[in-house]
A and B are shown apart, each in its own frame.
Chain A
Amino acid sequence: MKTLAADSAQKTNQGKIINDFSIQVATVNGSGSQSSNTVLMRSIFQMGIPVSGKNLFPSNIAGLPTWFTIRVNKDGWVARKKEIDILVAMNPQTAIDDVKALRPGAICVSPVELNLNKIRDDVQHYLVPFTELAAQASDNIKLRKLLTNMIYVGVVAELLDIDQAEIDVAIGRQFEGKGKAIDLNLAAAAKGREWTKANLKKEDAYYVERMNKTAGKIIIDGNAAAALGCLFAGATVVTWYPITPSSSLCETLSDYMEEYRVDKKTGKASYAIIQAEDEIAALGMALGAGWAGARSMTSTSGPGISLMGEFTGLGYFAEIPTVIFDVQRVGPSTGMPTRTAQADLISAYQLSHGDTKHIVLLPGSVEECYSLALEAFDLAERFQTPVFVLSDLDLGMNNWMSDPFKYPEKPMDRGKVLDKDQLEKLGKFERYRDVDGDGIPYRTLPGTDHPLAAYFTRGSGHNEKAAYTEKSEDYINLMERLDKKYQTARKYVPKPVLHLSKDAKVGIVAFGSSDPAILESVDQLKSASMPVSYLRVKALPFTEELRKFVEQHDRVYVVEQNRDRQMRDLITLEMPDLATKLKSIRHYNGLPVDARSVTDAILEQER
């Protein structure tokens, strides 16, 4: 089957385009395409070429459209790429729109019967008789559907010149332990490949070529990375309620815990994982456990954060440690549960009625999902307060390349907990007294066998001795100490990441999963002769580095994935004197931010 080259100009003018393109596979949710897409992505990764994969899926189990995008980039840029170079249009429901959205010169692999070549002739079509090939691959109609997915892997592999050996390895890995499935899938991929070799003429410029940029790297999603952080942080009480996109954090943690935290001899667990009746109960359990001395945590997304408001205020006011992961999705309300956003920043930061402000950690990579999870438990116990870790769907549910994670170097910081002997030595204990001048009081755990140990925890007004009070001076004393504790936290939270460019007058401030797009944008701006510096905030409260950065630059673009400029507003509140320097770039369409959009927005405002 031979089709005309739609954009031969590009090909002949530029020659081969190697290791720099994006592939989008459009399928139907629940059709089993996830395995094939993982095989495709992994086989490229195994060839040493940097890749990233993003799954754009509906809030649905089966039947609605889904898209998986793989970005292949020799320079290691892993953010979402705005333009699609190669479309595999397997979903008849969306095929027409999908092909219409392509830029001229892009490639479209599609089932022959969809006749997509009649929709556009300015893209390079490869029409494949998938139905026929699947029928040859299996007699079982149900299996044919699944195998079709592996057939397109074979087609794409042949077109791009992906090593067959790597495809085989990736399939073996994907279906590990299921011999029959491995054989069937290997055969299906081979079928796609052979047919392509025999029937299609390569009429495009895209190729992969072996590199050595992924040796020693891992592929992991942010939720699994955070789960590993919790495992090595020594979390002992884990509570959760199922919600997209956070469920897989606790589910993965559960798998790891079962494997590594159950005594092989006694069968006894050094942890408890509880699926709660709702997010309110999930946080209630985590706080109860934190109060009794356990390293506790819960994981949720926006709607759960809303439900956790009252308990978060209790945790703040009664000073109880716990860690709350918020894998953000698009809100408000149910919003778009399977799309990404950074719009819970202010609500998490100030969650609860009354005057509250919390420590919030902002991981910008899967490695930081791991390392900031570790840090969150130390901070929670050191500061005796709920600590939020704000990830998002893009970071949490998509697969990312990373250097392997490092084993924690520091011992756990269990904070200011007095035991029986210390109480005996001190001869005095007041739960909410600022003994050290850092705003952080001492606590005791229930079960401590000393007459001084007991105290009464309450969400109502309390004095330094934890006794009920409605006295104005007691209340002010308490609130001022809580603020002091918060100021102390500025010195303990992770510092921002700085990328300073010489002579840059313009700065970018961003956080979280925007990082790869911003790094790429900084590079694009540099190519456009516009040096910019970049500061990535890793935590609230802000540290002194942020003020310095804003002072150093004439204009600072705060890039964030929400409508209301939440980060910019928080910075404005922090340094109103510098507010006029702050500009805003927002990206809130539910898709991960891409570099090109940021670059264009900055160039437009700067020129």
Chain B
Amino acid sequence: MVDAVVKPQGTPAPKTNRIGLTLADYKGAPSTLCDGCGHDAITSQIIKACYDLGVSPHMVAKMSGIGCSSKTPAYFLSQAHGFNSVHGRMPSVATGVAMANKNLQILAVSGDGDTASIGLGQFCHIVRRNVPMVYLVENNGVYGLTKGQFSATAEKGAKLKSGVQNELQSIDLCGLAIELGCGFVGRSFAGDPKQLVALLKAAMSHKGTAVLDVISPCVTFNNHEGSTKSYKYAKEHEIPLHELGYVPFFEQITVDYEPGSVQEVAMHDGSKLTLKKTERNYDPTNREKAAATIVEANQNKQFLTGLLYIDESKNSFTDVMHLEDHPLATLPAEQTRPGKEVLQEIMKSLM
């Protein structure tokens, strides 16, 4: 009998990823957002994506502006430096970070107010420069922290809780990003974790600006009947363009697909994105088609999700700037302060 007693094993050691970290190591402080907020669902997928990829937290810089969405970097990767900057200006701060240390993986979270209104100019210019970063827009169509005013991504005809109807056309950030020449544009839904996590991983493997517009319902101010950014509306109207799969560079998996049924996209870091086609037969490498598809979907009130456009060939801003291999921030003085003879040469030329 004694022999048959099974000794208590304690709790089993938690699973670890390829760099030996647990899922918990990628978590942050507890969220202070409303229960059921779409943003928290997205945060969970960020944590999962970073864990799955084996990202080193200390090499991540979490950037944000101001708003509910911009609070979320505090809720993931507590071992990464974070910067909650000013409203609508995160892109410029992120650009400076990218220049100072090009080895950092910039993970930026913004919202529809932060990006499509006060920050529209900076959004355009970071896309134009193609600063390497994930630019995640947690899009709920309203200003949450100021209690539910419409944002510029609210669809025409959408209704506030009070019944006020939006008379203005919405700004489609994905359409705009494609127009601006963005090399990675995706749209997803906080209620579609499988697709979202694949898109997040792909975005982190992209070498320029990757724009992800994720519909993230505001349970307090924009989840009612008449809202076009509610869980119910999004679930009912979501049309995935394809079934997304992501194979990281460190996993050599080959899967046999029926010929022609899957489009593979090679990411610059060696990872692979697999797009299992639907009846739409959508090709995300065709820029004109992508732009037209977005316009058409908006006209037909369709909520298309997936990878809208990808171009892995574009030079990123750090490429364009021909930066030293070592981060500028920590270059030794010998490399940043020219010698005495240089000053003498310049002085002579001014005499």
Hey, which bits of chain A sit against chain B, CB under 8 A? 216-220, 228, 231-237, 239, 256, 260-263, 267-272, 274, 276-278, 280-296, 310-311, 314, 404-405, 407-408, 411-412, 444-451, 453-460, 467-468
Contact = CB atoms under 8 A, between A and B. Distances in A.
Given A292-B97, A448-B58, A218 B350 contact: yes
Nearest to B29: A467
Nearest to A445: B329
Interface string B77-109: 011111111100101111111111101100000
A292 B329 contact: yes
Interface of B: 29, 56-59, 61, 63, 73-74, 78-86, 89, 91-101, 103-104, 121-122, 124-125, 321-325, 327-331, 333, 335-338, 340, 342-344, 346-347, 350-351
Contact of A457 (B82, B329, B330, B333): B82
A451 B57 CA distance: 9
Contact of B351 (A216, A231, A311, A460): A216
B328 A270 contact: yes
Given A234-B336, A449-B58, A269 B323 contact: yes
A268 B89 contact: no
25 contacts: A219-B350, A236-B99, A260-B338, A263-B324, A268-B325, A271-B336, A272-B99, A278-B121, A284-B93, A284-B96, A287-B85, A288-B63, A291-B96, A292-B61, A292-B329, A293-B330, A295-B336, A296-B96, A310-B86, A405-B343, A445-B330, A446-B101, A456-B73, A459-B85, A460-B84
A291 B83 contact: yes
Contacts of A228: 343, 346
A258 to B, nearest CB: 11
B92 A412 contact: no
Contacts of A292: 61, 96-97, 100-101, 104, 327, 329
Contact of A468 (B74, B331, B347): B74
Contacts of B63: 288
Contacts of A233: 337
- The residue in A263, A271, A310, A456 that gathers the most chain B C-beta atoms within 10 A of its C-beta is A456
B92 A276 contact: yes
Nearest to A218: B350
Contacts of A284: 85-86, 89, 91-93, 95-96, 122
Given A295-B336, A458-B84, 16 more contacts: A228-B346, A236-B331, A237-B96, A260-B338, A270-B324, A277-B121, A281-B125, A284-B95, A290-B100, A291-B93, A293-B327, A446-B101, A453-B81, A454-B81, A455-B81, A456-B83
B323 A314 contact: no
A218 B125 contact: no
Nearest to B337: A234
B19 to A, nearest CB: 12
A291 B97 contact: yes
A295 B122 CA distance: 23
Contacts of A283: 92
Given A281-B89, A291-B96, A457-B83, A447 B343 contact: no
A468 B122 CA distance: 26
Contacts of A408: 337
Nearest to B340: A407
Contacts of B342: 260
A274 B99 contact: yes
Contacts of A261: 336, 338
B92 to A, nearest CB: 3
Contacts of B56: 449
Contacts of B324: 263, 268-270
A220 B350 contact: yes
Given A284-B92, A289-B96, A294-B99, A454 B347 contact: no
A446 B80 contact: yes
A269 B351 CA distance: 28
- The residue in A218, A228, A281, A408 that gathers the most chain B C-beta atoms within 10 A of its C-beta is A281
A447 B103 contact: yes
- The residue in A236, A314, A457, A459 that gathers the most chain B C-beta atoms within 10 A of its C-beta is A236
A269 B318 CA distance: 11
A65 B257 CA distance: 75
Given A277-B122, A294-B328, A457-B84, A446 B61 contact: yes
A178 B300 CA distance: 64
A408 B58 CA distance: 35
B32 to A, nearest CB: 8
Given A219-B350, A445-B329, A290 B103 contact: no
- The residue in B78, B98, B100, B338 that gathers the most chain A C-beta atoms within 10 A of its C-beta is B100
B122 A281 contact: yes
B81 A287 contact: no
A277 to B, nearest CB: 4
Contacts, number: 216
Contacts of A232: 337-338, 343
Contacts of B103: 447
A288 B333 contact: no
A454 B80 contact: yes
Contacts of B327: 292-293, 447
A281 B101 CA distance: 18
A447 B331 CA distance: 14
B110 to A, nearest CB: 13
Contacts of B322: 262, 267-269
A277 B127 CA distance: 12
A314 B85 contact: yes
Contacts of A286: 96
Contacts of B93: 284-285, 287-288, 291
A446 B73 CA distance: 14
A419 to B, nearest CB: 9
A450 B99 contact: no
Contact of A236 (B61, B91, B336, B347): B336
Given A263-B324, A281-B125, A456-B74, A290 B96 contact: yes
B100 A289 contact: yes
Contact of B58 (A288, A314, A454): A454
Contacts of A263: 324
Contacts of A271: 328, 336
A446 B61 CA distance: 7
A268 B125 CA distance: 24
Nearest to B77: A454
A379 to B, nearest CB: 17
B336 A456 contact: no
Contacts of B61: 292, 446
A122 to B, nearest CB: 41
A288 B94 contact: yes
A357 B97 CA distance: 25
Contacts of A455: 81-82
A347 to B, nearest CB: 19
Contacts of B338: 231-232, 260-261
Contact of B89 (A262, A270, A280, A450): A280
Nearest to B96: A288
Contact of B328 (A272, A311, A314, A453): A272
Given A446-B81, A453-B81, A457-B82, A412 B58 contact: no
Given A237-B328, A447-B103, A412 B337 contact: yes
B347 A218 contact: yes
A296 B58 contact: no
A277 B101 contact: no
Contacts of A294: 96, 99-101, 328-329
Nearest to B62: A456
A217 B99 CA distance: 37
B21 to A, nearest CB: 11
A428 to B, nearest CB: 16
Nearest to B347: A404
A268 B96 contact: no
A183 to B, nearest CB: 23
A520 B346 CA distance: 30
Nearest to A370: B343
Nearest to B87: A310
B313 to A, nearest CB: 21
